[in-house]
Amino acid sequence: PEECAVFHCRGCWTVLGDSLQLCGQEPPGLSVLVCFKVTSDVTWDDSLLVGLEGGLLGCAYYLLSCQSCGLAVGFILYSSGSDLAYLRGLFCFFKDSIICYLLKSQMIIEASKVNFPAVTLKE
């Protein structure tokens, strides 16, 4: 694939995932990469958090962290309104916590500046 990338933690460069696991489009109001799988260096607590503002307002989620440095790198949505229901149980990386290494061009780039091909989940 043309746009294969490896996702690294912005804090310590630990590998967290890759673009082959991308499985959904970025929802309006959330700057995230949605993935089926992540590496074992991504951890989360059993305690649920509740969004009090922004795109996760009223949603319950588990916070994802980098095991190496502890940086918050994303979330797993547990409950939400119908508009975000398709994200439940998936790994969502915050684009501002991730750096991408593009394999073909061997470039390092901000996740927010990469446009991956459209991927949609089937109903």
pLDDT in tens, 2-44: 678 999 999 999 999 998 888 877 788 889 999 999 999 999 9
Ordered DSSP codes for the chain: -TT-EEEEETTT--EEEEGGGEEEPPPTT--EEEES---TTEEE-S--EEB-SGGGBT-EEEEEEETTT--EEEEEEEE--GGGGGGBTSEEEEGGGEEEEETTTTEEEEGGG--PPP-----
pLDDT category at 111 given cuts 50, 70, 90 is: confident
Query: What is the pTM assigned to this prediction?
Result: 0.89
| Residue boundaries of the structural domains of the chain | 5-113
Does CATH number 2.170.150.20 belong to domain 5-113? Answer: yes
